[in-house]
A and B are shown apart, each in its own frame.
Chain A
Amino acid sequence: MAVQNRRIGDQLWVRRSLIGLALAITLIMLVIPVVVIFTQALSTGWSAFAGNVMDEYTLDAIGLTLFVAALTVPLNLVFGTALAWSVTRFRFPGRKLLITLIDIPFAVSPVVAGLLYLLLYGRNGWLGSWLSNYDVQLMFSWPGIVMVTVFVTCPFVARELIPLMQQQGSEEEEAGVVLGASGWRIFRKITLPNIKWALIYGVVLTNARAVGEFGAVSVVSGNVRGETNTLPLHVELLYQDYNIVGAFASASLLAGIAILTLIAKAFVEWRQSRAEHATPEEGGA
């Protein structure tokens, strides 16, 4: 450690100024804005804050946001696990292509994703015009919001699992097969314990993004207050309405969720690194 440090920054002042710079940037770019959110939200006192949060439409927005996350996370949990399982345990044509395709939501801007869904499932879209014959409306109602949120967040779980499952290899599972275990039993007793912490990490990230997604949701939401207005959209609406305190009160809820996510993430990372360095007996616990 000491040797390495000496090599990077020979002199004390280099090291100190680098650390100082990093801290200053973190403070200015990250910490102060978060503090400002909370001070603004509470600038007119706790009762005004509570009044803003307990507002009928804010509660509706919170409910909808949690509902969307509650549908998105399990869907992507299953999808991500199945995808990671298939590309790391089997060899098949198109496997590399599949690994690349999973990154599309990262590469595409969320607004574009929203527009794509709108053009496909909207009233004049390919699928939308067919669906409307059966009186099925996906866009501008909650299913549309869930669809784009699933799209935007679908790589997180798979991206967490694929490197880990590749590194772990399939020896343990093969041993299970040899000993005559069923597929489900192998997954439950061998695979799942091995990937547990990476899986939870993926879920934490998926949840954070699902709760905070703005761009794609904004396109397909229709902005109906009390019905299709999610918390991030609600923040924008309040801000445009000159209700700065209300906007920051809602924003502080989002920031609160983000902070909880960070704590959960730090905890999971800590458990994950312990699990990876642990002896096999401990690792299986």
Chain B
Amino acid sequence: MKQLFKGIALGAALLSAQPVLAADRELLNTSYDIARELFAAYNEEFKKHWQEKTGETVEIKQSHAGSSKQAQAIIQGLKADVATFNQVTDIDILHQRGRLIPEDWADRLPNNSSPYYSTMAFLVREGNPKNIENWDDLIREDVQLVMPNPKTSGNGRYTYLAALGYAQDQFGDDQEKIDQFMADLLGQVRVFDSGGRGATTTFVERGIGDVLLTFESEVLNIADRFENGEYVAVTPKVSFLAEFPVTWIDDYVEQNGTAELAKEYLEHLYTEDSQRLLAGFNYRVHNDAVKAENADRFPELKLLSIDEITGGWENAMSTHFSSGGKLDRLQRRR
């Protein structure tokens, strides 16, 4: 029994022994699961910026998980000051279900409130042995694909929509040809992983498939990580504009008294230095100077927005990804 109480005392001591960081201000940023390194770097920059501007020190706390889970947590009472997500629908829901932000949140910051963006690209194996250049190479019989499941992950939905955008661009109004292309493409998929990182693991660690379809940022990230050219990044000629939307959460910044700080935290993402930092993490940015510096890493391509492909997210979800929707029917075709 004595041992037990000793253990409890030790645990309590350990917890209370943690240094109390006495920052003047505090900010909680909820973000998607794979943005940890990005915001760890950005937070340091922003802390300096805020101190120079106001003389105050800031402590920025980070929460990372899948962005749909984060949106749910915020609606259920996680008092985050800002949300930096990788899916527009997950911020929309903060208005629709939570009434925490106004409907026009996207108009409050430049570029639809997306300080950076990415697109869907291909990762192929050393030397690109199957000679993959564009979407039509993916439906060849000898090519096996790995992609995240559009049913369970935003990453997978983006991939599906990117392929759909290509097919529409290629075949125009010929719905039959578009459907056939999509069915063929889905038929070549060897593994549908439940999430983006799972798909990467399947392709890289387990060595399955010839092409991994995922975010360009993730593709470049892996190609950089393996320095001997084990993997090659391929950006197709047409793809999807994947926005990374940000917003401050009006109800909570009011309660926390952080409105000014939260706004500045997001606006500062648009400065040239911050845009350069974002580009360093393989995201595409809007700043012209930074764009020019990185022109070789981010080849020009035709980017299609969700409105151009399906006329908005609502329609995309109900027509393509709902139960018995287009995706289900296309998969049954083969």
List chain A positions with a Cβ less than 8 A from chain B.
Answer: 59-60, 62-64, 66-67, 69-70, 73-74, 118, 122-125, 128, 132, 137, 139-140, 200, 203, 222-227, 237, 240-242
Contact = CB atoms under 8 A, between A and B. Distances in A.
Given A122-B76, A122-B77, A128-B77, A63 B18 contact: yes
Contact of A240 (B61, B70, B78, B197): B197
Interface centre among A62, A137, A225 (most CB of B within 10 A): A225
Q: Is the interface of A mostly helix, strand, loop or mixed?
A: helix
Interface of B: 1, 4, 7-8, 10-12, 14-15, 17-18, 28, 30, 33-34, 36-37, 61-65, 70, 73, 75-79, 197, 225
B4 A73 contact: yes
Contact of A67 (B11, B33, B76, B78): B11
Given A223-B63, A224-B62, A225-B62, A123 B15 contact: no
Contacts of A62: 14
Given A59-B18, A73-B8, A74-B8, A241 B75 contact: no
A211 B11 CA distance: 12
A226 B62 CA distance: 8
Contact of B63 (A128, A137, A224): A224
A123 B77 contact: yes
27 contacts: A63-B17, A66-B15, A67-B11, A67-B14, A70-B7, A122-B76, A123-B75, A123-B77, A124-B75, A124-B76, A124-B77, A125-B76, A128-B76, A137-B77, A139-B76, A140-B77, A200-B1, A203-B4, A222-B63, A222-B78, A223-B64, A224-B28, A224-B62, A225-B63, A237-B64, A240-B197, A242-B225
A140 B62 contact: no
A140 B14 contact: no
Contacts of B30: 222
Contact of B8 (A70, A123, A137): A70
Nearest to B5: A74
Contact of B61 (A63, A64, A66, A227): A227
A227 B18 CA distance: 11
